[in-house]
Structure 1
Amino acid sequence: MTTLDIMLPYYGDVALMQAAVRSVLAQTDPDWRLTVVDDGTEPSVPGWFAELDDPRVSYRRNERNLGVTGNYRTCLGLVREAHFVLMGTDDIMLPSYVATIRAALAKHPGIGMIQPGVEVIDGAGKPTEGLVDQSKRRLYKPAFKGEVLMGGEALATSLLRGNWLFFPSICWRTEAVRTAGFRDGLEVTQDLALVIDVLQAGEQMLLSDTLCFQYRRHAVSISSRQAFTGVRFEEANRFFMDVADRLDGTGWTKAAKASRLHLSSRIHALTMLPGALKNKQAEGARTLLRHVAGADHR
């Protein structure tokens, strides 16, 4: 059975990154390879990796900052195995993650994507489930027990209504991702874009309820001015409209309709509006209102 490539595009908090790496080192199944691609400049990081002295761990620092998509592409180019994970720099693999994924691959060797069971944690590592995660789980995520295979327009429609996946926990078939690639001009919607492109190429996803990953969702501080500018929703509008046109072109009209409505994203923007108003982000509030109202819906 194949070794699992774990790719970690890193930029940000050193302590959280170190916790993520330690969670990989603690896997019960030792057949993995971790590659960390550092897009930052923190001086202490290279020395910390040198001290790990584990032949399964590779570390490299980019000569210049590549940004989210650039670092994703660098990681993809370094994958050597048939399947890989693009792990979040602040997420945690529970000790059974690799064992769970490799067992699933043994049963479904040609699968394009595997979404295992995920627990949401807060910045302190405590289990949490906010309104956004609750609504996605209850309203959008398909109900199942054990495992289920999904794909095609049905899965695309479900995700475009409300993206209930946890991107850093997904195991990917390498060639499927290399064929699809990462789209230019996207950051916050890059994950959903990749899934939709892979689905349109005919790949399927295995959903499992076996809990083996912790996804860290940080609380958005009401005092954070940058969080309420509405920029992320401008990108979201462009993405959903573009995807709708692409889906119409391939006959996935139900999924295209869901993309144009992008209801979950509009509700999310509505929850951000009070923060924008409190922070006196007038332009941000207008952007959020346009997104809530579906001003770009066509």
Structure 2
Amino acid sequence: MTLVDVMLPYYGDVELMKLAARSVMSQHFEDWRLCVFDDGYPSSEPADFFAGIDDPRVVYRKNEKNLGANGNYRKALENAEAPIVVIMGADDIMLPNYLDIVVRAFESHPEAAIVQPGVQVIDESGISASPLVDRVKKAYTPRTRTPLALSGEQMATSLIRANWTYFPSLAWKTSTIQRIGFTQGLDVVQDLAMLLDVAADGGAMVVDPELGFLYRRHSASDSSVRALDGRRFDEERQFFNGQAERFRSLGWNKAARAAGLHVVSRLNAGTLVVKAIASGKTTAVPRLFKHVIG
């Protein structure tokens, strides 16, 4: 059996998707399978591209109907068969050592359910970038020069303070992520919910500082004030309050306090209050301010 499945849910820029796929095919570690799930992109270019690849490890499938982002991610996860799975973004890039890092981490830490390698953020042009959200992530990322295993309340507290992981760069133990799955009804905090479920389930995450992945953040996504009406923070507030109750029931008082305070989430809403006022979108202000004051 193949050791690693790289699942690539796709809809969007064809050239960036090609870069992502080629980065998988360029891995030093060769025991992988790449499965691309095309969610009905209105062009034959993706199919033509993969038709020209003569490698049995590369599988291209086009959905009969559009499933939407969440539906396509769930389909990709359901089709994973290898012991390790990566659900990669269709515009991100694996460095050639990425699979070496994650396979080594799983071998060295049999208790691990997740591996987070070192990540560099790039913009739409492939240039290194460091927007505010990623500077915050970096500030909360555990400082370590060697692979570090986190579990239980320590893992939950660290992540609930600020989700410093990059979901497309994570490698998962397939049996764990398939059992836990994507929580229905969540959008903004979907990835954090899965990570906290692993922590509550007794799983561990290995943080390896070696750079192995390029995460693409588009400049347009950084201006979250556009069309912002505050609904994302309604979801975050409900989620954090629910996690606080969950952690208290587990006796994880430190994690419960961090979830109840959700300081970084409230600070984020505070920065958007200023942006909303400056851009004239004042209808969002009451909803944002409600989240700021908790």
Q: TM-score range by the shorter chain?
A: over 0.9
Farther-moved stretch of structure 1 (173-182 vs 214-223): 214-223
> Which 4+ runs in 1 deviate beyond 4 A?
221-227
Q: Structure 2, unaligned stretches of length 5 or more?
A: none
- Verify the 8 A CA contact 2:102 2:115 in the aligned structure 1: yes
- The aligned residue for residue 34 of structure 1 is 34
What residue identity is the alignment partner of 1:134?
A: R
Q: Which residue of 2 aligns with 1:148?
A: 148
Deviations 1:32-89 (A, max 9, x none): 1111112243213222222223211111122223233322221111101111111112
The 2-side partners of 1:61 and 1:221 are apart by: 27
Give the match's secondary structure for 1:65.
coil
Partner residue in 1 for 2:56: 55
Any idea what SS the aligned residue of 1:69 has? helix
Q: Any conservation in 2 of the 1:229–1:276 contact (CA below 8 Å)?
A: no
Bigger shift: 26-35 or 282-291? 282-291
The correspondence of residues 1-298 of structure 1 with structure 2, limited to 5 A, is 3-43=3-43, 44-138=45-139, 140-220=140-220, 226-294=226-294
Cα distance in 2 between the residues matched to 1:11 and 1:291:
33
Structure 1 residues 95-134: Cα deviation after superposition (integer angstroms, max 9, x where no partner)? 1111222222222234211111111111211111122222
C-alpha distance in 1 between matches for 2:172 and 2:47: 28
One-letter amino acid of the counterpart of residue 258, structure 1: A
SS of residue matched to 1:157: helix
Tell whether the 8 Å contact from 1:12 to 1:40 is kept in structure 2 after alignment.
no
8 A Cα contact 1:241 1:260, kept in partner: yes
Q: Counterparts of 2:105 and 2:287 in 1: how far apart (Å)?
A: 43
Q: Please tell me the root mean square deviation across aligned C-alpha atoms, in Å.
A: 2.0
Return the alpha-carbon distance in structure 2 between the equivalents of residues 222 and 56 of structure 1. Answer: 35
Name the stretch that deviates more: 190-199 or 96-105: 96-105
**Secondary structure of the corresponding residue to residue 112 of structure 2:** coil
Secondary structure in structure 1 of the residue aligned to 2:219: coil
User: What is the letter of the counterpart of residue 209 of structure 1?
Assistant: P
| Alpha-carbon distance in 2 for matches of 1:177, 1:237 | 24
Count of residues in correspondence between the two structures: 293
1:227-284 CA-partner distances (Å, limit 9, x unpaired): 5232322221222122222222222222122112111111222222333234432332
Q: For residues 210 and 224 of structure 1, what CA distance do their matches in structure 2 show?
A: 30
Is 219-228 or 115-124 further displaced after alignment?
219-228
Deviations 1:197-252 (A, max 9, x none): 01111001111111110111222478876452323222212221222222222222
* Equivalent-residue separation in structure 2 for 1:254 and 1:273 (angstroms): 29
Counterpart of 2:285 in structure 1: which amino acid? A
CA contact (8 A) 1:20 1:90 kept: yes
Give the letter for the 2:73 counterpart: Y
TM-score (norm 2): 0.92
Q: Deviations over 1:1-26 (max 9, x none)?
A: 95211011112222221211111111
Change in CA separation of 1:224 and 1:76 when aligned onto 2, cut-off 3 Å: closer
C-alpha change, 1:112 and 1:145, in structure 2 (3 Å) is same
